[in-house]
Chain A
């Protein structure tokens, strides 16, 4: 049983560019959450998707957007990249009925130059 998978593993972009990160949830899970983990910080909630809709959103600007597909996989898009967007982006999946028990993927390391 595959766990949460994310792609790519690493990514280097320049300021102003756009990036798309991908996540496949653990088998059977219907809810996907995205987190940003800056260096030396804990994961910070970006948003959560269920039934292809954004259910909750953290304190992140509109440059951060997402999508969930019918197979429950998800994308995180960031436009107009800033240096401060450099971080580890974590995807977590869960069942909507057990939302607190989240399973995390290994993350995508984004570096903005």
Chain B
């Protein structure tokens, strides 16, 4: 039973356009959400996070939106750059320092 779902295995976007990566979760106890980026032969790198008390968090070109009622979050990358091409993982955790639960990832390809 997947508690964190990334239903799009891959996404292709043109350079300069917006990339939108989606993530759904089923566990209502999750209250902290993170996005990680992973390049081949490297470990996942923390990108941006959001607490359940917020509905938006922005860091440069990256913005994460959280819709608690829909149990849905999304990562927006504007503008997309070729260096953004990687696998993006959505992860969630609950209160009390519970372990991170990851989705299967979405492979983003930004085409020049």
In the bound assembly, the distance between CA atoms of A44 and B43 in angstroms comes to 14
Counting chain B CB atoms within 10 Å of each CB, the highest count among A100, A103, A106 belongs to A100
Q: How far is the CB of A96 from chain B (nearest CB, A)?
A: 8
Q: For A96, give the chain B residue with the smallest CB separation.
A: B97
How many A-B residue pairs have C-beta atoms within 8 angstroms? Tell me: 53
- Name the A residues within 8 Å of B49 (CB-CB): 100-101
* Chain B, range 1-45, C-beta contacts under 8 Å to A: 4, 6, 32, 34, 36, 41-45
Identify 4 new A-B residue pairs, CB closer than 8 A, beyond the known A42-B6, A101-B49, A106-B41: A48-B99, A100-B49, A102-B100, A106-B42
Judging by beta carbons under 8 Å apart, are B103 and A4 in contact?
no
Majority DSSP secondary structure for residues of A touching B:
loop
- Residues of B participating in the A interface, judged by any CB pair closer than 8 Å: 4, 6, 32, 34, 36, 41-46, 49, 89, 91, 93, 97-105
What are 26 A-B pairs with beta-carbon distances under 8 A? A4-B43, A33-B99, A35-B102, A42-B6, A42-B91, A42-B104, A42-B105, A43-B89, A45-B101, A56-B97, A56-B98, A56-B99, A58-B99, A90-B43, A90-B44, A92-B43, A100-B34, A100-B49, A100-B93, A100-B97, A101-B49, A102-B100, A104-B36, A104-B43, A104-B44, A106-B42
Interface presence of A99 (CB below 8 A) = yes
Judging by beta carbons under 8 Å apart, are B46 and A102 in contact?
yes
Judging by beta carbons under 8 Å apart, are A42 and B46 in contact?
no
Chain A interface residue count: which class?
A: 20 to 34
Interface presence of A61 (CB below 8 A) = no
